Amino acid sequence: MHRTLSFALAAAAVAVAAIPRAPVAAAPDSVRWGPCRENAVPEQAAVAAEEPADLPRLECSTLEVPLDHRDPDGRRIEIAISRLASGKPSQRRGVLLTSPGGPGITGLGYPAVLAGSGLPQEVLDSYDVIGFDPRGVGRSTPVTCDLTPEQQARGNVPPYAHTAADVAREAGKARTVAEQCATSRTAWMLPHTTTANIARDMDRIRAALGEPELSYLGASYGSYLGAVYTTMFPERSDRIVLDSNLGPGGYDVTAMRLLARGLEDRFPDFAAFAAARPEYGLGTAPEQVRAKFFELAERLEAEPVRGFDATSFRGFTFDRLYSDADMPLVARTWQALDTDRPPPPAPPFPDMENFMSARFAVICGDTRWPSTVREYQRNVAVDRLKYPMLGGSTAGIGPCAFWPEERAEPPVRIGDRGPSNVLMAQNERDPGTPLTGALKLRRALGGRATMVTADQGGHGVYPFGPNTCAKDAVTAFLTTGQRPPQDLACAAEPGKQAEPGK
- Cα torsion 117, 131, 432, 448 to 10°: value is -100
- Residue 494: CB atoms within 10 A of its CB come to 6
How confident is the model over 206-233, as a mean pLDDT?
98
Which member of 140, 324, 357, 459 is catalytic? 459
Scanning 350-497, the segments in alpha helix (DSSP H) are: 352-366, 373-386, 391-394, 435-445, 468-480
Pick the CATH number of 7-142+191-252+416-490 from 3.40.50.1970, 3.40.50.1820, 3.30.499.10, 3.10.20.600: 3.40.50.1820
pLDDT at 81 over 90: yes
Q: Which residue has the higher pLDDT, 346 or 213?
A: 213
pLDDT at 498 over 50: no
The reported pLDDT for the residue numbered 342 is 92
pLDDT at 8 over 60: no
Give pTM, 2 decimals: 0.91
The partner residues of 60 in beta bridges, in order of sequence, read 34, 82
How confident is the model over 290-312, as a mean pLDDT?
95
- Residue 463: CB atoms within 10 A of its CB come to 18
Whether 340 is a known active-site residue: answer no
**Per-residue DSSP letters for 364-377?**
HHHS----SHHHHH
Average pLDDT, the chain: 90
The reported pLDDT for the residue numbered 502 is 42
The reported pLDDT for the residue numbered 51 is 38
Whether 455 is a known active-site residue: answer no
Q: Which residue has the higher pLDDT, 54 or 225?
A: 225
Confidence of residue 146 (pLDDT cuts 50, 70, 90): very high
The reported pLDDT for the residue numbered 3 is 27
The reported pLDDT for the residue numbered 312 is 92
Residue-wise pLDDT for 157-182, tens only, equals 899 999 999 999 999 999 999 999 99
- % of the chain residues with pLDDT over 70: 89
- Residue 446: CB atoms within 10 A of its CB come to 16
Q: Where are the beta strands (DSSP E) in 172-257?
A: 214-220, 237-245
Residue pair 308/296 in contact by the 8 Å Cβ criterion: no
How many Å apart are CA 445 and CA 227, to the nearest integer? 8
Residue-wise pLDDT for 114-137, tens only, equals 999 999 999 999 999 999 999 999
The reported pLDDT for the residue numbered 57 is 84
The reported pLDDT for the residue numbered 307 is 87
Which member of 201, 252, 383, 430 is catalytic? 430
Residue-wise pLDDT for 248-269, tens only, equals 999 999 999 999 999 999 999 9
Confidence of residue 1 (pLDDT cuts 50, 70, 90): very low
Whether 86 is a known active-site residue: answer no
Cis geometry, peptide bond prior to residue 103 (ω within 30 degrees of 0): yes
**Per-residue DSSP letters for 46-112?**
HHH-SSGGGS---EEEEEEEESSTTSTTS-EEEEEEEEE--S-GGG--EEEEEE---SS---TTHHH
Residue-wise pLDDT for 10-57, tens only, equals 222 222 233 233 333 334 458 999 999 866 655 444 444 443 345 568
Q: Where are the domains of the chain?
A: 7-142+191-252+416-490
The reported pLDDT for the residue numbered 399 is 97
Which member of 86, 220, 323, 420 is catalytic? 220
Ordered strands of the 76-84 beta sheet: 34-35, 59-66, 76-84, 127-133, 94-99, 214-220, 237-245, 422-429, 449-457, 488-490
The partner residues of 96 in beta bridges, in order of sequence, read 129, 215
The reported pLDDT for the residue numbered 407 is 81
